[in-house]
Amino acid sequence: MNKSIKKIVIAALFAAFTCAATFISVPLPIGYANLGDVMVLLCGAVLGPVYGSLAAGLGSALADMFFGYAMYIPGTFIIKALMAFTVASLFKLISSKVKYSIVSHVISAVAAEIIMVGGYYLYESVCLSYGFGGAAASLFGNCMQGVVGVVASSALVIPLKKLMTKAKIL
């Protein structure tokens, strides 16, 4: 099979997994988080900046559509695509300086989650007209979502990359 067709198929699967993972809730001491960010971070780490960004943005935007949050679709697409792009780009930069370690992924993932928290704060306050005070209400929940994303994706990234390399998927 043509390598670019294979990558498109894998990216489409990752988009579907990202959408589905957003429906899985993890209870936290205060509120809950979904597993969508885990897949967003894995999209960037495994698929790279272009395919990873498209898979993460599309899968997350589809989840907003299915949940009935149409007003979030444009913001979610951009924010989640930027997250995956950040993970892929920072990971590549860090890995060029040092041998890959889980630390490379954690640093990249934390940077991506900062983009998520700041991105939704700006999107809600400006584009959705919640105002800066109104948008601040979601900051804590988004931070907790980010922590879950970083921790879970860090546990999964190395085995997933090894599996996909061994199976000659990527």
Q: pTM above the 0.75 mark?
A: yes
Residue found under tokens 């990234």? 157
Cα-based angle 45, 105, 3 (whole degrees, multiple of 5): 20
What is the reported pLDDT for 100?
67
Residue found under tokens 């792009």? 85
Domain that holds residue 134: 3-166
> Residues 29-71: pLDDT tens digits?
877 899 999 999 999 999 999 999 999 999 999 999 999 999 9
pLDDT band at 18 (very low <50, low <70, confident <90, very high): very high
Max Cα-Cα span within the chain: 52
Please report, for the domain that includes residue 150, its CATH number.
1.10.1760.20
Domain count across the chain? 1
What is the reported pLDDT for 1?
66
